[in-house]
Structure 1
Amino acid sequence: MDQALGALYGGGRDAQGAAGRTAGLGASAPSVARWLGDIRTYFPGSVVQVMQRDAIERLGLSALLMEPEMLEAVEADVHLVGTLLSLSKAMPETTRETARAVVRKVVHNLEERLATRTRATITGALDRGTRVNRPRHRDIDWNRTIRANLRNYLPEYGTVVPERLVGHGRASRSVKKDVVLCIDQSGSMAASVVYASVFGAVLASMRSVSTRLVVFDTAVVDLTDQLDDPVDVLFGTRLGGGTDINRALAYCQSQISRPAETVVVLISDLYEGGIRDEMLKRVAAMKASGVQFVALLALSDEGAPAYDREHTAALAALGTPAFACTPDLFPEVMAAAIEKRPLPIPDMATHQ
């Protein structure tokens, strides 16, 4: 364990325990592969991911991630996916399929963690507006019906007499809300891009929501037609480059046909390289037309992100507070936006 730590951070001990010897991974792929095997053996997965991240940043190991053998040895996580996406255009063809397999594994794990709760939370928000008291049998919400009729419980029969049925009308099968995810793909937003792509795919799988996914730097790319596979979405991004939020919002605005039934989610650190005043005017215009506008400084498990405080304050003045959001909180944020109620902004993550 000490040698593995010393190879990355220095100050390791030799086999006899003598202090002061520094180690290193050098540029040798075999030595890095051995080191990756060691840290997976001696440390828990969460620590392995931190050490891998530090090795890529401190020792410049990005080039080695273009080797299929190296990719098979690493512990895959959101941050590794971000690194792979930033390298994807330079990857040799022999590595690309291995990289896609690594990304797919991480995406699959995220979908398993997030999809069920997201669908349940958002479906509940959508259905609350379409409850009916004379539903068809197949539309009866049995849990709510039982709760509504508990006073009619007959203990001698062990049953509830349902005088009032609660259910959802047939309108619940139609598209009820339009959601536009507008994602900043500058390099600092890598984790947010990964999570947003997963959420975009989950939302796209819901028939009652029409989902559009737009990524931008200084250019704007609509990846909606790839939402059935978030891995394709991720490899359609190009992490890095400048930022033109105004241009991205102009495109999103042009795609809105039902403003009162539309939720726009801008995920960006708000470091605007475009026209600031125009950006703010677009946000104000969308809100005035009835759009529910949500600004997230980050969508990740990280701590408070770096962000443009001046632009954040300007959005807050328009009634759109910008805040960092964890993936676990995102379904609640979307549900609140759909129901047009105050957003559940965490106190520690609020920036106004």
Structure 2
Amino acid sequence: MTDGAGRDDREGKEAERRRRWRLALGGDDEDGLSERDLRMDRALNALYGTAPGGGSGRAGGSGRRGGLGASAPRVARWLGDIREFFPTPVVQVIQRDAFDRLNLKAMLLEPEFLATLEADVHLVADLISLRAAMPEKAKDTARQVVRKVVDELMAKLAHATTETIRGAVRRGRRTHRPRFADIDWPRTIQANLRHWQAEHRTIVPERLVGFANQARNKADLDQVILCVDQSGSMATSVVYASIFGAVMASLPVIETRLVCFDTAVVDLSEDLADPVEVLFGVQLGGGTDINAALAYCQGLVTRPAKTHLVLITDLFEGGNAPEMLQRAAALVAAGINLVVLLALSDDGRPSYDTSHAQALAALGCPVFACTPDQFPDLMAAALKRDDLADWAAGRDISLVRAGHADAP
């Protein structure tokens, strides 16, 4: 490379570096920005604005608000711009910032606006919490948005959940003449790799491997109770728990119930065939009475040694805390497998009541946060009565320990 070419390359890299910093920090200087860059800058500036005195508010701090106004068409055009410029995960972050900074939650009541949004779990939680305030014309659109997200999550999570849990429960005899629903696909594929058909890019299985059809009475089934806190802080956990509940309820090898609570308790088990209906039956917000919820679940238990109670809550108890802990101790003493999830979400480190978490850990309950991707393996380990402390340690998941305030 000649000195001139090298100098041009360095200058080009420096210009690109300045361009990126300008778009990240904002400002008035338009030198070096293309028309597309200027459109991107205007889209970001509409939300993050510029700080008083001319500085940018984009990198943090309290910038003045942008100029989206309250017009649904204007916001819709802005959303179209950010979808053009950024990948979906970034679009979802920008949408959440817009809801907080520009009070766009009021816009969720407009069907025209709803139809333009990039839907995700957080948006579903917002829609569920706002549905009572929605005009009728927006409710159908909201239901369509929720259905879209639920269908996408079901497609992502259902297969792994089904295979993992079925394998954990039916870990005994296998058969080479399984029913279709009982085929163990990973083992079947492995056993038939030599039958790969290159021209069709598929395997033609000559030998099926599956789980033996073990006729079971309902009294023989493991019972899973998902007991979910529906206070506002647990919104995304409610969405994921409803979807997992629907998947597990479709499996004949276990009995699944879904119980949601705030200061009241509602049993949504009968609606699990349709997780969208479950979500529209949830009342996000309000207080928290964990003791009342545990009392209700205690009444559902008929086979303590075969019952797995998954309590999903941040443990901020608004009811009778001492009685809640006593009830949890009674459940554990009865042989019920009590697992406490401080969150079932992608959001990372949850906020929770450390004293209650430590007290439950002292009873021998595993207490930690869990992501949706980890949940199928967690349920498989729970159904096998594996040591969940070892299970969590093998996945770098931090458990709350008795007497320690370490957060997951």
TM-score range, shorter chain: 0.7 to 0.9
Structure 2 Cα separation of the partners of residues 43 and 143 of structure 1: 37
Cα displacement (A) at 1:202: 0.1
Alignment map for 1:235-314 (pairs within 5 Å) = 235-314=280-359
Structure 2 Cα separation of the partners of residues 50 and 172 of structure 1: 48
List gaps (5 residues or longer) in structure 1: 13-17, 149-161
Alignment map for 1:63-142 (pairs within 5 Å) = 63-128=106-171, 130-131=172-173, 137-138=177-178
Cα distance change of structure 1 residues 7 and 332 upon mapping to structure 2, 3 Å threshold? same
Partner of 2:244: 199
**Matched AA of 1:127:** R
Cα displacement (A) at 1:266: 0.4
**Matched AA of 1:303:** G
State the TM-score, normalizing by the size of structure 1: 0.87
Cα displacement (A) at 1:300: 0.5
Cα displacement (A) at 1:170: 3.6
Partner of 2:42: 3
Question: What is the SS of the residue equivalent to 1:285?
Answer: helix
Partner of 2:376: 331
Conservation of the 8 A alpha-carbon contact between 1:268 and 1:296? yes
Cα distance change of structure 1 residues 142 and 36 upon mapping to structure 2, 3 Å threshold? closer
Out of 177, 181, 206, the residue aligned to residue 226 of structure 2 is 181
Q: CA RMSD in A?
A: 2.6
Out of 60, 83, 96, the residue aligned to residue 53 of structure 1 is 96
Out of 34, 37, 55, the residue aligned to residue 77 of structure 2 is 34
Cα distance change of structure 1 residues 349 and 8 upon mapping to structure 2, 3 Å threshold? farther
**Matched AA of 1:259:** P
Q: Deviations over 1:102-144 (max 9, x none)?
A: 000000000000000001100110011x326xx6844797987
Conservation of the 8 A alpha-carbon contact between 2:72 and 2:112? no
Question: What is the SS of the residue equivalent to 1:351?
Answer: coil
Question: What is the SS of the residue equivalent to 2:170?
Answer: helix
State whether structure 2 residue 390 is matched by structure 1 residue 351. no
Cα distance change of structure 1 residues 141 and 322 upon mapping to structure 2, 3 Å threshold? closer
Conservation of the 8 A alpha-carbon contact between 1:312 and 1:321? no
Worse overlay, 280-289 or 223-232: 280-289
Partner of 2:5: none
Conservation of the 8 A alpha-carbon contact between 2:312 and 2:341? yes
Identify which of structures 1 and 2 has the higher relative contact order when contacts are C-alpha pairs closer than 8 Å and 6+ apart: 1
Cα displacement (A) at 1:347: 3.2
State the TM-score, normalizing by the size of structure 2: 0.76
Partner of 1:340: 385
Conservation of the 8 A alpha-carbon contact between 1:325 and 1:349? no
Q: How many residues align?
A: 329
Cα distance change of structure 1 residues 171 and 56 upon mapping to structure 2, 3 Å threshold? same
List gaps (5 residues or longer) in structure 2: 1-39, 58-63, 192-206, 402-408
State whether structure 2 residue 253 is matched by structure 1 residue 214. no
Structure 2 Cα separation of the partners of residues 142 and 351 of structure 1: 36
Cα distance change of structure 1 residues 276 and 193 upon mapping to structure 2, 3 Å threshold? same
Q: Deviations over 1:297-340 (max 9, x none)?
A: 00011110100000000011001131110000001110111000
Cα distance change of structure 1 residues 71 and 142 upon mapping to structure 2, 3 Å threshold? closer
